């Protein structure tokens, strides 16, 4: 049993990079380092030494710091097997059902294609932490750039299966815009309305809304609820066909 310490770094306009330290081994990983400089600054403040990088997908705002950090720290880079060739500096690759170890901390790896074809997520059960990149966001989900609605829905369902108390460490602060859209498709969801209000308050004070709790996402995130009557009805479709519902909700969000 080992536990992670998690440090959240805001980078670029709305990215979150995470530094995670396995207490037993003192190994430290950067999750989706968009850029090297903010990571180096945070490491110096914490007096941590980077040993690992993990990437959820190939986009530059998740891998942009890979090579510079590897150059400085000689750290080992782990990324998605299905996108091996698109991850700068990759050393090892992982896919669905694989285990990833940061010292004594073990993560289960899920393939979560849809946003990109080789997207993965890391779940550390002992720390109750999910690093899901651009698959699941607080009150939203990633755009389906390289996958089908069917793939994205299946990916989201895998994450939805995790325990309610799981903390969702997604890679962007998109929550306020997501909340506005969520309320437009699910206006009678009392929990969602309350959550949206709280998010507006937090953002007005420039506070972070990430991580969120998976249990709250299950109840309020429309993209996790495409097999419920309320979301299906909102887009005039059948809850027995959640993929079609998902496709429609995603399309509406793209145009919102």
Q: How many whole angstroms separate alpha carbon 223 and alpha carbon 232?
A: 11
Backbone φ, ψ for residue 86 (5° rounding): -110, 5
Q: Which of residues 106-145 bind Fe ion (CB under 5 A)?
A: 134
Q: Which is nearer to Fe ion, 34 or 221 (CB)?
A: 34
Q: How many whole angstroms separate alpha carbon 241 and alpha carbon 219?
A: 19
Q: Does 35 sit near Fe ion (CB under 5 A)? A: no
Q: Does 134 sit near Zn ion (CB under 5 A)? A: yes
Considering only CA atoms, which of 173, 256, 178 is closest in space to residue 217? 178
Among 59, 70, 195, 225, binds Zn ion (CB under 5 A): 59
100: number of Cβ within 10 Å = 19
- Asked if 171 and 135 touch (Cβ cutoff 8 Å), the reply is no
Q: Which is nearer to Zn ion, 10 or 72 (CB)?
A: 10
* Residue 13 beta carbon to Zn ion: minimum distance, rounded to whole angstroms: 13
246 secondary structure, DSSP code? H
- The window from 2-10, 93-101, 131-139, 161-169 that contacts Zn ion (CB under 5 A) reads 131-139
Q: Which is nearer to Zn ion, 175 or 189 (CB)?
A: 175
- Given Zn ion, Fe ion, none, residue 52, with its beta carbon under 5 to 8 Å by kind, binds none
Among 52, 61, 186, 217, binds Fe ion (CB under 5 A): 61
Q: How many whole angstroms separate alpha carbon 165 and alpha carbon 130?
A: 10
> Which residues are at the interface with Zn ion (CB under 5 A)?
59, 134
Q: Which residues bind Fe ion (CB under 5 A)?
A: 61, 134
């Amino acid at each position: 049993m080992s536990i992670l310490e998690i440090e959240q770094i805001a980078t670029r306009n709305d990215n979150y990079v995470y530094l995670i330290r396995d207490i037993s081994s003192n190994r430290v990983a950067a999750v989706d380092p968009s850029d090297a400089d903010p990571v180096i600054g945070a490491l110096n403040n914490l007096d941590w030494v980077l040993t690992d990088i993990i990437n959820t997908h190939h986009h530059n705002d998740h891998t942009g710091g890979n090579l510079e950090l590897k150059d400085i720290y000689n750290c080992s880079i782990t990324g998605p097997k299905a996108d091996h060739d698109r991850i700068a500096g990759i050393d090892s690759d992982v896919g669905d059902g694989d285990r990833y170890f940061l010292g004594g901390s073990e993560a289960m790896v899920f393939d979560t294609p849809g946003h990109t074809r080789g997207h993965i997520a890391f779940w550390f059960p002992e720390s109750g932490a999910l690093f899901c990149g651009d698959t699941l966001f607080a009150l939203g989900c990633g755009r389906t750039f390289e996958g089908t609605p069917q793939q994205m829905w299946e990916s989201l369902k895998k994450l939805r299966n995790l325990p309610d108390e799981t903390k969702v460490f997604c890679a962007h602060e998109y929550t306020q815009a997501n909340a506005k859209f969520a309320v437009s498709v699910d206006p009678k969801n009392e929990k969602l309305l309350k959550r949206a209000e709280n998010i507006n308050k937090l953002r007005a004070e420039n506070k972070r809304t990430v991580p969120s709790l998976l249990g709250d996402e299950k109840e309020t995130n429309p993209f996790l609820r495409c097999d419920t009557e309320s979301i299906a009805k909102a887009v005039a479709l059948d809850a027995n066909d959640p993929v079609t519902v998902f496709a429609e909700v995603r399309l509406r969000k793209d145009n919102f």
